[in-house]
Amino acid sequence: MNGLKWLNKHLEEAILVFLLATISCVMMAQIIARTFFNSMTWPEEFSRYCYIWTVFLSLGYTIKKGNMLKVGIVMDLLPQKLRKRIEIIVNVIMLVLFVILLRYSIIYTGKVKSSGQFSPAMHLPMWIMYMSTIIGFALAALRMVQEIISNIRNFNKKAETTLEATIKEAKQEVQATGIAVNDNDGLMGGED
C-alpha cells in the first residue's frame, strides 16, 4: 500500500529525474568521445528519445503538481461557485480530450509497429518510442480523473486564484535559495 502511495505521488517525477540525469550523462559522454576518440551516432538519438518520453510523461506530472501553464486572470474575476463549476467542466473536457488522444495514439503506434520502422542509429523498433504517447496520455487521463474527484470533493473549499498561486510560487522560489542564504550570513565577510 505504501508502495502504491509513493508511486501515486512520485511516479512521473522519479522517471523524469532519471531521464534528465541520463540525458546529461549520455550527452556528456558523446562530447568527450567526439573530442578525444571517434564520434558516435547513438548518444544523440538516445538522448532525443529520452526527451520524447519526458515530453509525454510531463503531462501527468504537471496535472498532478497543478503547475500547467495557463492564463487565469479572467476566471479570477468570477464568483467562487461559478468558477468551481467551470473548472470541473474544463477538467472533464480535458479528460475526454486525453482519452481521444490515447485512443488515436494506440492506433498510430499500431500502424508504426506494423510498418516495421527502425530508428536510424540504434536500430530499435520505432513503436517502442511511440509507446511514450500511449503511456503519456493514459497517465494524463488517470491524473485527470484524480483531479476531477478532488475537485468535486473540495467543491466548497475556496479555489486558488492566480494571485495566490503566484504568491505560493514566489515563496517556493525564496525557499529554494533559503538554505544557501543562511550559509552566507557574513555578506561582505565571506570565508577566509
Partner 1 sequence: MALWIFVVFLSALVFAVPIAVSMVIGAMTPLFLGGTGSSIQQLIANSFSGSDTTPILAVPLFILGGVLMAEGGISRRLFNFFAYFVGNLTGGLPCAVILTCLFYGAISGSGPATTAAVGSMTIPFLVDMGYDKTWSAGMVATAGGLGVIIPPSIPFVLYSLATGVSTGALFLGGVLPGILIGLCMMVYAVIYCKRKGENKERINAKMTELRSKGFLSLLKESFWALLSPVIVLGGIYSGIVTPTEAACISVFYSLFVSMVIYKSFTVKEIIPFLGNAVKTYAPLCFVLAFAIAFGRVLALAKAPILIENFILNNFSTSITALTGIVVVFLLLGMVMDTGPAIVILSPILLPAVQALGVDPVHFGVIMVCCLSIGLATPPFGLDLFVAGTLSSLPPMKVAMKAMPFIIAFGIALFIITYIPWFSLVFL
Give residues in contact with partner 1 (CB under 8 A): 13, 16-17, 20-21, 23-24, 27-28, 30-31, 44, 47-49, 51-52, 54-56, 58-59, 61-62, 65, 67-75, 86-87, 90, 93-94, 97, 100-101, 104-105, 107-108, 111, 129-130, 133, 162-163, 166-167, 169-171, 173-174, 176-178, 180-181, 183-184, 187-190
Least distance to partner 1, CB of residue 145, Å: 16
In whole angstroms, how close is the CB of 148 to partner 1 at the nearest point?
14
Smallest distance, partner 1 to C-beta of residue 156, A: 20
Give 1 or 179: the residue with its C-beta nearer to partner 1.
Answer: 179
CB count within 10 Å of CB 165 equals 15
Please report how close the Cβ of residue 1 comes to partner 1 at its closest, in angstroms.
24
Rg, C-alpha atoms of the chain: 22
Nearer to partner 1 (CB atom), residue 3 or residue 189 = 189
Q: CA–CA distance from 189 to each of 16, 101, 164, 182, 184 (Å)?
A: 40, 58, 37, 14, 9
Q: CA-CA distances (angstroms) from residue 41 to 30, 37, 69, 95, 177?
A: 9, 13, 35, 39, 39
Burial 85-98 (b: 16+ CB within 10 A, else e): eebeeebeebbeeb
- Considering the complex, state which of residue 20 and residue 149 has its C-beta at the smaller distance from partner 1: 20
Cβ neighbours of residue 106 under 8 Å, at least 6 residues apart? 134
